[in-house]
Amino acid sequence: MPKAKQSGVIAAGLALFSMFFGAGDLIWPLILGGSMGDNNLYAMLGLLITGVSLPLLGLLSMMLFDGNYRAFFGRLGKVPAVIIIFIIQAVLGPIGSIPRLFTLSFATLKPYLPEDTTLLAFSVIASIGVLAFTIKKRRVIELLGLVLTPVLLLTLGFILFIGFTSPHEAVVNTLTQGAAFKEGLNTGYNTLDLIASFIFVPLVLSHFKDENSEESPVAARKTMLKKMLKACLLAAFLLSSMYVGLTYVSSFYTPLLRPDHLPVERLSEISLYLLGPYGAFVACIAVAMACLTTAIPLTAICGEYIKKDILNNKGGDILPLAITLILSISVATLGFMGIADMLAPLLHVLCPGLIVLSILNIIHCLYEVKPGKAPVFAAFGLSALLYVI
């Protein structure tokens, strides 16, 4: 593969990783590892299934639809598709991912901010910064993949490397291995990566479409899918590496931290323990990069949805982005765990049906058969029933 094309795949893979690796991907592995102790291996394996394998499934299934998530969900019928797309956009945008990013950034940077800085004021300032980057959405992939993501990988990688050089023994955990594995499975849903996989594909595919504009349509599609697959595998590898590192470092050092620290403060607390007062600032940079690299594409994607599907292409480009960020600021006042509690029932009902839909759509594309809608609706219904029980 020529160097220019190879760099395009690497940039897209790094961009995919950075889009996935946001607030939930930082905090939930730390929470999981800190609570699982010496059972972390089994919990981490569960996390890799729902936090990496399932998003990869979503990416691959959406690739077969050329990133057209309306056609992807449209196989369930017009009305169900509209409802599911609305829920996904809301969860990834103003009621879930974006406000979580604001709360995590604030909690981590708080020691370095003026004492009277509030979460609301911080969220407003962060929104202005995100808006400034999002307006230049044509350069989002290059910005994420070649500039911001390397900073994120270097800072987090440095913290994890120090953590593994002289690890403490993990605390003995009373859970069974099966219970720890189940806890890891449930934690993976909270990262929101499965849901995000359906929405991120169009943004990355557009990057490859620009690269292959001179090829015939059939050849361009084949080349684009190959590149996208390589980018997905690179993103999955990086995501897995971070999950393994974060869960293990958390299992080693959480018992040594002050007992009253909040979950959103765990990375900075571990960094403070490992690197001292100045080293904790490295964690702040890492978190800021993770939040920024995820908030930019999420705001762009949600703004595009509001513009086309809700405002019918009225109001220009700025208004949909402003609506997304204003709603995100409002929800951010609930705090990270408050947002998590609000989303938990929705995720446990939604994710199993999306998994079934992804598998059926892959079968539909590869074998030219039309699986029925019943298994998907049954999965939604059964997961709702099990959650209530």
Counting every residue, how long is the chain?
Answer: 389
- Predicted local confidence at residue 209, as pLDDT: 63
Lowest mean pLDDT among 80-94, 119-133, 266-280: 266-280
For residue 183, pLDDT over 70 is answered with yes
- Interval 121-170: pLDDT, tens: 999 999 998 888 787 655 555 555 566 677 778 888 888 888 888 788 88
Between residues 283 and 144, the one the model is more confident about: 283
Lowest mean pLDDT among 32-46, 143-157, 287-301, 348-362: 143-157
The answer to whether 62 touches 354, Cβ cutoff 8 Å, is: no
Q: Can you give the pTM of this predicted structure? A: 0.85
Lowest mean pLDDT among 50-54, 107-111, 143-147: 143-147
Q: What percent of the chain has pLDDT above 90?
A: 41
* Residue 2 to residues 9, 50, 139, 141, Cα–Cα distance (Å): 11, 34, 22, 19
* Nearest Cα residue to 373 out of 83, 81, 177: 81
User: Once rounded to an integer, what is the mean pLDDT over residues 326-330?
Assistant: 96
Could you give all domains of the chain from N- to C-terminal order, each with its CATH number? 3-388 (1.20.1740.10)
For residue 88, pLDDT over 80 is answered with yes
Q: How many CB atoms lie within 10 A of CB 344?
A: 14
Lowest mean pLDDT among 153-162, 324-333, 344-353: 153-162
- Predicted local confidence at residue 156, as pLDDT: 84
CA angle (32, 37, 40) in 5-degree steps: 60
* Residue 6 to residues 9, 113, 140, 167, 226, Cα–Cα distance (Å): 5, 41, 18, 37, 12
